Amino acid sequence: MPINVAIVEDKNEIREGLTFLINSSEGYRCVGSFGNAEDGLAQIPQLKADVVLMDINLPKMNGIECVRKLKTKKSSIQFIMLTVYEDSERIFESLKAGASGYLLKRTPPAKILEWIGDAHRGGSPMSSEIARKVVQSFQKNTHASPDETAQLSARENEILTHLAKGFTYKEIGDQLFISSETVRSHLRRIYEKLQVHSRTEAVVKFLTR
């Protein structure tokens, strides 16, 4: 059973090149190719596609929007963005929309087949430049500051976790089977350690740590 691939790409030359590449390779079959997002959106759900190669820059609806819509209809399809854009914004938007891979068009054709297989097996093929951008956002969102939350005891962390869900002292106390006064005691220490003076500040430090 070959891997069924569909293509959405507006440049004829590239689209035909990819179609030829896929059809002439053992184990791969191109089951459809479209020059715009609208056609792809209408036809792809009927095809037995396993993997879709999606260009981002398309005439009307862009490829990211197209993935978003298709993914909600047929979540089993794996989408690989195939594009020239290297900026973080487009990468993240694509991944959020449900794409599992993101490749630059300058990827050598031979590699593309490998990536398609990867995606089909549940991997997330990414050019390593792209992966770096993703990793960086990861590092920014998590690492960054000295992280004072590290000095908190297990119990204090537990309290803070509940605080970060918006519960009042009383509610937290009820859930942890302690009095609200105790919760306040813990909070006092937490504020001291985090050097803050309100729930909100504490929660911000906790969530963005």
**205 binds DNA per the rule CB under 7 A:** no
Selected from 19, 43, 65, 191, the binder of DNA by CB under 7 A is 191
**176 binds DNA per the rule CB under 7 A:** yes
Min CB(11)–a copy of itself separation in Å: 26
Q: Which stretch binds DNA (CB under 7 A): 36-44, 53-61, 123-131, 189-197?
A: 189-197
Amino acid present at 1: M
Residue 18 binding partner per list a copy of itself, DNA, none, with a CB distance cut-off of 5 to 8 Å that depends on partner kind:
none
Residue 6: half-sphere exposure toward Cβ, Cα within 13 Å: 24
- Give the footprint of a copy of itself on this chain (CB under 8 A): 92, 95-98, 100-101, 115, 118-119, 122-129, 131-135, 137-139, 141-143, 163-166, 168, 196-201, 203-204, 207-208
Cα–Cα distance for residue pair 34/132, rounded to 1 Å:
30
Site string for DNA, 121-160 (x = CB under 7 A): --------------------------------xxxx----
Contact 45, 74 (CB under 8 A): yes
Closest CA to 52 of 121, 116, 5, 10: 5
| Alpha-carbon distance values, 123 to 120, 136, 200 (Å) | 7, 20, 39
Cα–Cα distance for residue pair 180/172, rounded to 1 Å:
7
Nearer Cβ to DNA (16/201): 201
